[in-house]
Structure 1
């Protein structure tokens, strides 16, 4: 079963695969790219991300948000789906933010891509795209982040656990960052209510 991470960008520059490759090199990582025959490394709509052995880890699709097409369809779906989740303040912030989104990058991770030796290749690729498009992140079974990468909307399954960096909006419209325990029911409810959980660790 595949797993998706999406990057919703407010800018839509052409990202050369060499830029991604250089970032991977800086992290001492090696990857291969598979681009459709009718496309170029400097201007593509999709590519395959492989490890140094040529194993397919993920596919990356670039979907501009225009009047028609996949990008707009995904954005419209997000606008509808977030209304069911909390905090309400985050859902409202996202709804407004969506109006500024110009492109959605959809990264489909294969199971092998989640293996420790391969996952860093994917997160590094995600990171350079995120930086260049100036946006937010969305992940299956998790939810959305703000522009700084802190999680802001609860879309986790009921059995979610572990520590997670999150943020809520305060009365001034500023993000307050913290690290919370996803398995703690009280912390969950406080987060969903748009509050920093009392037992959470505040982050700067």
Structure 2
């Protein structure tokens, strides 16, 4: 089964191939981007690969408009979170998805599982996300807010380990690092509360 992570942006404008290549080359010079579909000025999909030919990820740019693939993806997301918890996070996400203009879909290929390939993929995804007005979605994990903290429970019931989470209360995000396998932590998060034995990582201001 293909594994994808995505950046969902409110911005119609997209980074050029030159911009992404420059940012990738600053820290991962042995990796490159090539156009798979479209042209350099109007790329539709890019291949991230190593100098040895190893393929790391296929990046697709899907604008969201009536009848588009991007619109279908948004509809699928809305269906997936229909009964998601906590309710405050799900409500915020539904409003956010209505404003998404571009989806960048990263299909993880074989070399994404290597340390160097994974780091290059992460850097490229971060470069797009950090342009602003964007959230991240990952298969089997779920969605973040704009600060990069997970806001819904879409993990498997058997998951465990530390994870950065966020709950929305009175229009303010509270961020913390919880143990996904701790029943008390899990119950608090699902009810839209921060676990009582944890501290806020950093306060965040109100969000639209």
Same fold (TM over 0.5): yes
How many residue pairs get aligned? The number is 202
Structure 1 residue runs of 5 or longer lacking an equivalent are: none
| Cα distance, 1:85 vs structure 2 | 1.4
The correspondence of residues 75-90 of structure 1 with structure 2, limited to 5 A, is 75-90=74-89
2:61 maps to which residue? Answer: 62
- Is the partner of 1:74 in helix, strand or coil? helix
Aligned partners of 1:14 and 1:43 also within 8 Å: no
CA distance in 2, matches of 1:53, 1:111: 13
Give me the TM-score of the superposition, normalised by structure 1: 0.93
CA distance in 1, matches of 2:111, 2:146: 28
| Cα distance, 1:111 vs structure 2 | 3.5
Aligned partners of 2:24 and 2:32 also within 8 Å: no
1:152 maps to which residue? Answer: 151
Structure 2 residue runs of 5 or longer lacking an equivalent are: 203-208
Give per-residue Cα distances to partners, 1:149-191, cap 9 Å, x unaligned: 0110010011211111111011x21100101011111101100
Higher strand share: 2
2:4 maps to which residue? Answer: 4
- Is the partner of 1:83 in helix, strand or coil? coil
| Cα distance, 1:129 vs structure 2 | 1.1
CA distance in 2, matches of 1:110, 1:48: 10
Give per-residue Cα distances to partners, 1:26-84, cap 9 Å, x unaligned: 22443122213x63223201011102212111100011000012100000111111012
| Cα distance, 1:132 vs structure 2 | 2.6
CA distance in 2, matches of 1:187, 1:78: 25
Residue 47 in 1 paired to residue 46 in 2? yes
